[in-house]
Structures are given as C-alpha cells and as structure tokens.
Structure 1
C-alpha cells in the first residue's frame, strides 16, 4: 500500500494538474478538498476585509482545473467515466431552460392582460425549479456517496489500483 503524508495527498492533484487519466483514491480527493477549502477561506476573508473581489476568484480559477481532474480520476477509481462529473449540470441546465420558458410565457400573458396566465406562468416555473432542484440535489448525494466509496480493488479499465504497490509508483502517482 502506498502511504503518503496529508501534505503530499493535498499537493498531489496540483502536481497532476490537468491529468484526466488514471485513478485517484479517496485520500487524494478528500485531502485536496480540504486543501482547497483552507486556501479559499483566507482568500475570501481577505476579499471581504479589503472590499474587493480579487483574491478568491484568482484562487478559485487556479484550483478549478486540478479540482475537475481529481474528480474525474476519483470517478475512474470507481470504474465510472469522468463524464458523470457533469450529471448535476445536465439536470440543472434543462431545468432552468424550462423554468425560463414557463416564466416568459407568464410574462407574455401578463403583458397581454391575462392576470391568471401571468400567475400560472410564474407558478409553473417555480414548480419546475423545485423539481429540478430536488433532482440536482439527489444527484449530488449520489456523487457524494460515490466519492466516499472505496475504489475498485485491483486494475480496472482506467489503470492500476492506486492503493496497491506499483513497481514504479512515480509513473502513476507523481
């Protein structure tokens, strides 16, 4: 089993900055999540203290690609495609589009003098947003459960087990 310190696990995704192939164990994913939080918090506090929106957006932008990459590799460890990372977004975009059309229909009805139609449009948009929000939340819970699950033991279609001893671990793990 490959052992690393917490600091090594936190920094490993930065070394594998845009590597979307291979696998990442839970430790790499969750230590990096903690690292991201610990870096983002002072940046946000500094922005609030100075009345700026400068440091937190820069930190967020800098951590975006390694966060996506480690998320994809974590899904690979579970023998799932990295495209699952887009599942909440795939639910959210149509929800907002449908709600926007329903709300726009209500607005047009209101402009044409139909108060009942305007109210129905707003009400149906709210229902669509509520249903879509529940779907997005459900998918987020599923993703959280996956990220907390131990990866596939042994080799899978995305590479060797990151927790197994590798003949040359630097090839796979930095």
Structure 2
C-alpha cells in the first residue's frame, strides 16, 4: 500500500473498528500524522497560537484509533489491547512491537488478509 492509498483508506474508514489493516497502511498513516503535527506546530508557532495543532489532533483522533485497532486485528489480537498505551512506557513498547509484527497470513477471526485483497 502506498502513502496516498493509506491516507485515503484511513479516512474512508474514519471510525471503522472492524476489519484488518496491514503494516504499511498503519505506518504510512503514522508518518502522515507526524507530518501534519509538525506542519501544524510550525504554523502555530508562527502565529503564536495553538489552533491548528488542536484542530489537526481532533481531526486525526478517531482515524488513528481506528487504524490502530484494525492493525491489532491483523495480528489476531483484540482491539481492546490498544488500551495498553495507558500503561506508561511498557504499554507503548508492547504496542510498538505488535504494530511491527507481520499480520496473520490468510483470514483470521477479524477478516481476510488485507495484503491479499
């Protein structure tokens, strides 16, 4: 999946928490988030405000959670495991390891393999 396909797919599934997301879809969208936050921060620093960062954070909140849950589904884990991010440091490390793992080959309980579709 390319950068633009990933962004299009994540926004078309804005609040879709079922199904699966491939590694490339997740990581391209994560890169998109970082770029948007950097751009918004630069603009906010220039105009001495926090409005653009706040708007971008609100706009990206649901699609980021949704793609993260679908990514967990790809490795055959429940989306509720995303709440591990609430555990300082350890939770983030566990999620990082899981998000970098190869997804289940073929269909699993959450749907068909996103790479084969």
TM-score range, shorter chain: over 0.9
Report the count of equivalent residues. 117
In the TM superposition, structure 1's runs of 4+ consecutive aligned residues that sit over 4 Å from their partners are none
Equivalents in 1 of 2:61, 2:85: separation in Å? 17
Structure-2 separation of matches of 1:88 and 1:69: 14
**Using the alignment, how far apart are the partners of 1:30 and 1:41 within structure 2?**
17
1:78 is matched with which residue? Answer: 75
Alpha-carbon offset, residue 14 of structure 1: 0.8
CA deviations on 1:84-141 (whole Å, 9 max, x unpaired) are 111232x3xxxxxxxxxxxxxxxxxxxxxxxxxxxxxxxxxxxxxxxxxxxx212211
Q: Does residue 104 of structure 2 align to residue 152 of structure 1?
A: yes
More helix by share: 1
Q: Which TM-score applies when normalising by structure 1?
A: 0.65
Would you say 1:34 and 2:31 are equivalent positions? Answer: yes
Find the structure with the greater CA-based Rg. 1
Query: Which runs of no fewer than 5 residues in structure 2 stay unpaired?
Result: none
Alpha-carbon distance in structure 2 between the residues aligned to 1:28 and 1:88: 20
Shift of 1:7: 1.2
- Deviation of 1:5 after TM superposition, in Å, equals 2.7
TM-score by length of 2: 0.95
Report what 1:10 is aligned to: 7
Where does the alignment leave 5 or more consecutive residues of structure 1 unmatched?
A: 92-135, 167-174
On the 8 A contact 1:11/1:32 being kept in 2, the answer is no
RMSD of aligned Cα (Å): 1.0
